Structure 1
Amino acid sequence: MKSKIVHAFGPVLLVGGGECTHDVLKAAVSKASAVVAADGGAAPLLAIGVVPEAVIGDMDSLDPALQASLPPGVLRRIAEQDSTDFDKCLRNISAPLVLAYGFLGARVDHQLAALTVLCNRADRRCVVVGTEDVIVLAPPELTLDLPKGTRFSLYPMGKVQGRSEGLRWPIDGLVMSPDTRVGTSNEVVGPVRLSVEAPRMLLILPAACLEALLEGLAAAPGGWPVRA
């Protein structure tokens, strides 16, 4: 397996150049084992006085003056243009969990690209955190303790089936795909158990459910196959 740029035994905070307030970033930094920036995501970190362990990307959006201000070895330029900066980061981080801030709420095309990366890097457990939503690629099995009435959206990124308990509209027996049937705006009615057959289902919850989601992910058995 190729060596990674960042290795951590705890959660890694990954910051992109999208919407994220300084207060939110400061709170996230305090809980992270390591902090990494995706190209221009270094700017908001430096603005709150945090120097990331690594800045990974093609460096087309980070001001040259900020690049020059970074300590030696922090800037990790990957020049190829066949992948996004988000993908460049995920494939170069070894950690049990990546919390990705600043990848939602700006440009829709960037958001869609980030969600595609979640599926392509299914073996990297990553939660994308935005102002309104948190998004994760659903693991094979997941149990969640969420308040009744919580919005629970499932969005397939390809053809996929699954089973559910605790949802107003169960997904058992449904063949879901982005161009036929999706599972957005479902609702929690009891303890949730979700299983999916392939790494193609995105789970979208309100941002207030982040801690409950992290607890569920920590207890989730197994995972998707590791990619080099």
Structure 2
Amino acid sequence: MSPQLILVSDKITILGGGAVNHSDLARALDLAPSLVAADGGADIALAAGHMPDAVIGDFDSISAAARAAIPKDRQFPVAEQDSTDFEKCLRSVEARLILGVGFLGDRFDHALAALNTLVRYPHKRTILIGDDDICFVCPRQLDLDLPAGTRFSLFPMAHVAGQSGGLRWPIDGIAFAPGGRIGTSNEVTGPVRLTMDGPGMAVLLPVEFLTPVAEALMAVEVAGG
């Protein structure tokens, strides 16, 4: 194992310190049972009856009670302040699938920071789970079979273009960019295929489609290219 890696597992849930719906956490752990807490996410994990496999972060939010309850060999403080706790976790784990819970709630700045981290690590198959939506970075090719009428939003975090099938409004020939053209509130008309020319496109879907999205991302050799 590389010394930079703290946990290697097939599927990992990363739990943040933001607002967490326990049903969202349960849904994530059903799919990805290895649990990593991002700093204060350790307190949320313990309160929900889960012992984290690892706690990673700068440890400015975790309580003394949580530190006392969690075995020392599962605690990995990272002192640097140039990255968020979510990024510290994401770069320290390796898995076929990573789910993030507790990063799209309370604070909009934290949600934007988490989205920024996703785009910076496109090779990690990572899905952020919120109360209503899931968010992930589109790999170079994505195939999804979703019900007709499903809301399908695309939000560029970089200059990116691509082609689509199965969307009411095709994206072919459109140059997407932050502060420019975006693709929110599109709609599924049939089996969806997206082909992107590079990483940087965030996809947002209703949370009930977490499982098919997880399966689709795990079928992709490298998410984001």
Per the normalisation by structure 2, the TM-score is 0.95
The Cα RMSD (Å) is 1.4
Alpha-carbon distance between aligned partners in 1 of 2:37 and 2:138, rounded to the nearest angstrom: 24
Alpha-carbon distance between aligned partners in 1 of 2:72 and 2:26, rounded to the nearest angstrom: 24
Q: CA deviation at 1:40?
A: 0.7
Q: CA deviation at 1:223?
A: 3.7
Alpha-carbon distance between aligned partners in 1 of 2:177 and 2:47, rounded to the nearest angstrom: 41
5+ residue gaps in structure 2? none
Query: 1:25, 1:45 within 8 Å by CA — same for their partners in 2?
Result: no
Aligned pair count reads 224
Superposed counterparts of 1:57-136, under 5 Å: 57-136=57-136
- SS at 2:67 equivalent: helix
Residue identity matched to 1:144: L
Q: CA deviation at 1:222?
A: 4.1
1:190 aligns with 2:162: no
Alpha-carbon distance between aligned partners in 2 of 1:72 and 1:157, rounded to the nearest angstrom: 38
Q: Which stretches of structure 1, 4 residues or longer, exceed 3 Å deviation after superposition?
A: 221-225
- SS at 1:73 equivalent: helix
Query: 2:165, 2:193 within 8 Å by CA — same for their partners in 1?
Result: yes
5+ residue gaps in structure 1? none
Residue identity matched to 1:58: D
Q: Which residue of 2 aligns with 1:47?
A: 47
1:143 aligns with 2:162: no
Per the normalisation by structure 1, the TM-score is 0.94
Identity of aligned residues (%): 47
Alpha-carbon distance between aligned partners in 2 of 1:213 and 1:173, rounded to the nearest angstrom: 25
Residue identity matched to 1:34: S
Q: Which residue of 2 aligns with 1:15?
A: 15
